Each structure stands twice: as structure tokens, then as C-alpha cells.
Structure 1
Amino acid sequence: MLAFLSTGLAACFWLQSCAKAPSVANQSSDKLQGKLVLTGSSTVAPLASEIAKRYETQHPGVRIDVQSGGSSRGVADARQGVADIGMVSRSLKDNEKDLQAFTIAKDGISVIVNKNNPVKSLSDKQIVDIYNDKINNWEQVGGKDAPITVVNKAEGRSTLELFASHFKLETKNIKADVVIGDNEQGIKTVAGNPNAVGYVSIGSGEYAATHNTPIKLLPVEGVEASIANVSKGTFPISRPLNLVTKTTPTGLSKNFIDFASSQSVQDIVKEQYFVPVTK
């Protein structure tokens, strides 16, 4: 009888404990701890940084280090395990399909000139000829008599790759006067030089142009360069903004990628002048 009571009490105690213990699925996600390193695209980096700030606020035990350096760095670092997550502002190439890609927003690429430049548009051929140094004075395309300062992106930048691909430019034939890294450098260079021409993320360019930076975005193939047209799918040069991993993400990496791809951050995506991804 005592043995029965002892067993019964133990069973009761065990059942009560189980009833009180929360399942793993129901445990508060603020228990997440650790550090993530993201490297790569300078277009994605500011967006990822803002998303990371919100994520860290919700998960105080997590720290996220975001570093730029170009999409090529994002691919290489993710492959080599130097970064937990790479940032790539384009679709993965055929020889990069060993990686996993997760789109968090969409963007376009726009040609920019100084706000005081009277030129309102350039044809595809004119852009090609400018970057190949066949046209080197603004007067040749309806502007003032002034030499054109050609601003180009550094190798390894996906913006350069997409720009060259769209205009069928051989990067080795581009004659640049100034070589820049991130979008901010390109915008500052064109804003400070009335004779400069460059190309940047539409998101970065539109934000700058609407926040008193003296640049303007030129249309491509007659389509206004705007986030609205990227959203509609009518702008000719658009691209996905991706987070990439070496293998299928798990744990903290998966949790952050899921968060960065969710509706919880669409306000941040819009504030950064990118197009949210609807799922």
C-alpha cells in the first residue's frame, strides 16, 4: 500500500511538473543569445543594419555585426564561413548556386547626374559611349560645354555587374575618372561635381534626391527611375536584395533571416526606399 501511494504521489508530482513546463515551441524568443556576422553588399548593409537594430531590441541577448565590402565579399565570406550570412544585391550566379539565398527586398539601379546638369535623359547608346570615352563632353548630349567626369563602381560590386550587363558594357573597356565603392560615395561624388555622371541603387538615389542632396535620377529606356516603378515591375534594371548562407540556415541565423523576410520589417524596407517582398 505504501509503495502504491509513493508511486502515485510521484506520478502526480511528475504530471504537475509537466503541466507547468512550457514546450520549446512556446518558450519566449527573447531567450535567443549569440552573435551574427553579416558581410557583403553596400546596398543591403544599411537595410540589414536597421533590421538588426530592431531584432536586437527584441532579443537583448543577440548582437549583430553588419559589414559592407561588396556582394562578392558576401558570397566569399558565406562560403568560407567567415560570415554567418552574406549580403548580395543581385540574383546568385550559376556558379554560386551552392549557396542558399533569401530575398528581403527589391531594388533598381539608376543613372545619376548633378541636379544642376541640364541633361534630362540619356539613351542606352549615349551611356555606353560615355563609359567607353567615345562621348566625353556634355555638349555632345545636349548639355553644357564641359568635360564629363565618369564615376564607376569598383570591381566586385554587384551594381557594376548589373549596370554593365544591362548596357552590354565590357567592364575592362570602361574609362573611369573616379572609382567608388558604396552608393553613398557615388552620390557624394556626383553631388559635389556638376559634370559627373554615375549610377547607384535607386533606393539610395531617390532617398538622397528627396532629402536635399543635389542629384537627379535619369530615366532608363524612357521609364522614370523610381521605387514605384521598380515595385510595378516596369523599370528595366531591377534586382533582388538577398541574404545568403552556405547551408540551410538553422538556429539564430534562421530566426534572423525569417525576421528580415517578414512583414514585421516592411516599414523599415520602405523607409530605406526599397520595395518590400510580398509572400
Structure 2
Amino acid sequence: MKKVIGLLTAVGLMTAPLVQASTVTVSGSTSVAHVMEVLAENYQNTTNKSVEVQGTGSSAGIRAAKDGTSMIGMSSRNIKPNELTPKTKEIVIARDGIAAAVNKANPVKDLTQEQISKIYRGEIKNWSEVGGEARPIVVVTRENGSGTRGAFEEIMDLQRSVNGHTVTAITTSAQVGNGNGMIKTMVANNPYAIGYISLGSVDDSLNALSVNGVAATDNNIAAGDYQIARPFIALMNDDAPATAKSFIEYIMSEDGQRIVAEEGYIRVQ
């Protein structure tokens, strides 16, 4: 009996890696994960091939692709040269705007980029300074390592150098939320809050501000008129399994890009 159990265990150990290898693993940006999960579901329904998507943050996704702990990494910020190896490739699968969002009760509908930057630096502290009520502004930001935060800081000039190191210039009094969902909840529940989220995650629970008089819309991003925008990037090593490469091919196909557009993002093909 012991020999039979031992044989079955050995067979299980030999087949387990094969099962795992057939599953495409994807991890990284929670913003990219939103559309990636829909792409994965449709891909699975079409091909009967398994895809697992985990939202772990852009920095974690970049590392996962680099060291091979995930077949595909996801980033919603530009990637620094020292974060990749020569065999790691970047594929822009979509483009997305970052919406500066306020509570639906807030009368402010438009801000300049400079005003938003000053709010996040803590230089503008009251809504009355930008045409709103005489109430303190509650600044809400994403967590460190978030691709949305990294892109927002870069675009909005919210970084500074300290002893040769680049650090955030966002006010230390800012409240921090993990993920687009938490930011939406925090802003929706506070009439004096301002946050930033992926444009594809905007819904009726809050208002996306116009910036420099330009509405945060797909058409304005595609035309280059709305400036707070960033790429959605998939990362994959040259030696990634064929199953992972097939999934990327699907994402870049007409069907995949149609889903990208249906989910509120800008297609790249």
C-alpha cells in the first residue's frame, strides 16, 4: 500500500508543474488588471486556456516579469531602463487617462494642471482658492509603488530630488488609498476630497474634473488634448512560454483591442 501511495505521489509531483505551466500568470498594476481580467475571461472562453490575473502594483509587476515569477507583468507607468533586462520586452496594450476626481457635491468642475499640482503639494489648501466652498481640501493619493501614482507624479511635476534621490512632493498630510476602488470610495464619501484614478474606472459615484478646460474623455486623450494620460504596458521575457505569447497576441488582435475600447480605454491597434 505504501508503494502505491508513493507512486501516486510521484505521479502527482510530475504532473503538477505541467498543470501550472498551462496557466498564463499575469501580475502587476491594479489599473491594468481591471481590463486584463476582462481580456483574460474572454480569452479563456474562446480558447479554453487558463489565465490568472493578480493586481499587485506596477513595481511588483515589473519585478515579476523581470525575474520570471509571472509570465506577464503589468505596468501603468513608464519603465526605467534599470528595471528591465535585455530580454524583457514592453508591449503597450492600451492607453489610459488619469482623472482628477471630486465628490459629486463639489461645485468645482475644472482646474488647471498647475492648480492640481499645488493642491497635491499642499500649497493650495482650501477649495475657496479655486472657486469652491470655504472648506479645507482633503487630498487623497495612491500608495507607494502604484503605477497610477508614479505616472501622476511624473506628469504633474510632483517629484523632487533629495541628496540625489527622487522622492515624492505630495503633501505628507494626504490620505492614502490602495487601488482605484478605495480611492473612489474615499472621494465619494467625502464632499471635500480630491483623488486621482484611472479614467477607465470613473463611474457615477464621483465627478472627473476637466483639466485646463479639457474634459477627460477618450477622444481628447487620443487627440493629445487631455494631458494627464499614460500607457498600459505588458512586460514579457523573450523566453516566456508560448501560452503567454499567444495571450499577448490575442490582446493585440482586433477582438482584444475591441474589448480594450469597450472597457473605456484607448486602443493602440
Q: TM > 0.5 between the two?
A: yes
Cα drift, residue 127 of structure 1? 1.6
Contact 1:44/1:88 (CA < 8 Å) preserved in 2? yes
SS in 2 for 1:118: coil
Which stretch has the larger CA shift, 103-112 or 120-129? 120-129
Segments of structure 1 that go 5 or more residues without pairing to the other structure are 1-32
Q: 2:67 aligns with which of 80, 84, 97?
A: 80
CA distance in structure 2 between the aligned counterparts of 1:223 and 1:198, rounded to whole angstroms: 18
CA distance in structure 2 between the aligned counterparts of 1:66 and 1:85, rounded to whole angstroms: 9
Cα drift, residue 40 of structure 1? 0.3
Cα drift, residue 36 of structure 1? 1.3
Segments of structure 2 that go 5 or more residues without pairing to the other structure are 1-20, 160-166
Which stretch has the larger CA shift, 137-146 or 167-176? 167-176
CA distance in structure 2 between the aligned counterparts of 1:195 and 1:110, rounded to whole angstroms: 16
Specify the alignment match of 1:219 in structure 2.
Answer: 210
Specify the alignment match of 1:172 in structure 2.
Answer: 168
Amino acid of the structure 2 residue aligned with 1:50: V
SS in 1 for 2:111: coil
CA distance in structure 2 between the aligned counterparts of 1:186 and 1:161, rounded to whole angstroms: 15
Cα drift, residue 250 of structure 1? 4.3
CA distance in structure 1 between the aligned counterparts of 2:84 and 2:225, rounded to whole angstroms: 27
Cα drift, residue 91 of structure 1? 3.0
Q: 2:53 aligns with which of 66, 71, 77?
A: 66
CA distance in structure 2 between the aligned counterparts of 1:47 and 1:128, rounded to whole angstroms: 28
Specify the alignment match of 1:14 in structure 2.
Answer: none
- Percent identity over paired residues: 36
Cα drift, residue 97 of structure 1? 4.5
1:232-263 CA distance string (max 9 Å, x none): 22221222211101335441011010001111
1:252-279 CA distance string (max 9 Å, x none): 011010001111123321221001112x
CA distance in structure 1 between the aligned counterparts of 2:62 and 2:169, rounded to whole angstroms: 25
Q: 2:193 aligns with which of 192, 196, 199?
A: 196
Aligned Cα RMSD in Å?
1.7
Query: Are residues 1:130 and 2:126 paired?
Result: no
SS in 1 for 2:77: coil
1:206-235 CA distance string (max 9 Å, x none): xx1xxx32x111122322111121122222
Query: Are residues 1:242 and 2:233 paired?
Result: yes
